[in-house]
Amino acid sequence: MERLTVAIDGPAGAGKSSAARLVAKRLGYLYIDTGAMYRAFTWAMLQEKIDIGDAEAVRALTERIDIRLEPLEDKCRVFVGEREVTDAIRTQDISSRVSSVSALAVVREKLVQLQRNMAEGGGVILDGRDIGTVVLPKADLKIFLTASVESRARRRYLEVQAKGGTETLEDIAASIASRDDMDSHRAVSPLRQADDAILLDNSELNLEETADAITDLIQQRCR
């Protein structure tokens, strides 16, 4: 079967990464966690105490940073240099900052090139905000995965509760809505559905059902 380049875009909390990872495992594709790469860059900025408004320092970091992904069966390990940051980049502090960092043109230029290099040859699935519109505009299959704010907030709330967190459902919903607005209106590579992307709303689907729908779309495109 032909091995495609698959681009999955959509808002925060739609389950893009989890679904993409599961589909990649099923089909023997390489899953490239682009969101983790931006989180890793954000983490590095915080570690080095670089202000987002310090353009010179940010550019200098893009020139020396080494971000590496190591796919495992159940997740993607993330490294900055030799330090693993897989868990460190998933904090609320990173989540609240990553959208602003990823809107910086110099950061996107650096990471987009890394992502394009990794996607050469096909048999890959990438997810993010601008994969089908900017990173891989000629991807074999583009999917825009979305869900209602209420649905995404409910999922996140259950995750927070399972980890003993104290965020309320209302606070999470407000944060998601704010993130949507920021991602959709940023000057560089805003979140939008590519003209040739297939819309998939998974508000009423669980992870397995979402992965089934994406797998079906890939198989249909191969045929």
Please name the residues in contact with 178: beta carbons below 8 A apart, sequence gap of 6 or more. Answer: none
88 annotated as ligand-binding: no
Looking at residue 70, its pLDDT comes to 85
28 annotated as ligand-binding: no
Does 217 score more than 90 pLDDT? yes
Mean pLDDT value across residues 148-176? 93
Does 211 score more than 80 pLDDT? yes
pLDDT band at 181 (very low <50, low <70, confident <90, very high): very high
Mean pLDDT value across residues 177-183? 91
pLDDT band at 190 (very low <50, low <70, confident <90, very high): confident
In order of their start, the domains of the chain are 5-210 (3.40.50.300)
95 annotated as ligand-binding: no
24 annotated as ligand-binding: no
Please check whether residue 78 is in contact with residue 44, taking contact to mean a CB–CB distance below 8 angstroms.
no
At 24 the three-state DSSP class reads helix
75 annotated as ligand-binding: no
Looking at residue 74, its pLDDT comes to 66
Please check whether residue 20 is in contact with residue 31, taking contact to mean a CB–CB distance below 8 angstroms.
yes
Does 85 score more than 90 pLDDT? yes
DSSP 163-180: TT----HHHHHHHHHHHH
* pLDDT-above-90 percentage for the chain: 78
Question: pLDDT for 114-128, tens place per residue?
Answer: 999 889 889 999 998
Q: Which of 86, 122, 127, 115 is nearest to 210 (CA)?
A: 127
Global pTM value: 0.80
223 vs 144, residue with greater confidence:
144
10 annotated as ligand-binding: yes
Does 192 score more than 80 pLDDT? yes
Give, for 96, the enclosing helix (H) or strand (E).
helix 92-102
Does 65 score more than 80 pLDDT? yes
Please check whether residue 135 is in contact with residue 128, taking contact to mean a CB–CB distance below 8 angstroms.
yes
184 annotated as ligand-binding: no
Distance (Å) of CA 21 to CA 52, 62, 71, 72, 120 = 30, 27, 9, 10, 18
Read off the amino acid at residue 214: I
Please tell me the distance from the alpha carbon of residue 126 to that of residue 88, in angstroms, as a whole number.
Answer: 21
Please tell me the distance from the alpha carbon of residue 127 to that of residue 31, in angstroms, as a whole number.
Answer: 9
Retrieve residue 182's tokens. 């920021």
Please check whether residue 133 is in contact with residue 188, taking contact to mean a CB–CB distance below 8 angstroms.
no
Mean pLDDT value across residues 25-32? 91
Give the chain's mean pLDDT: 93
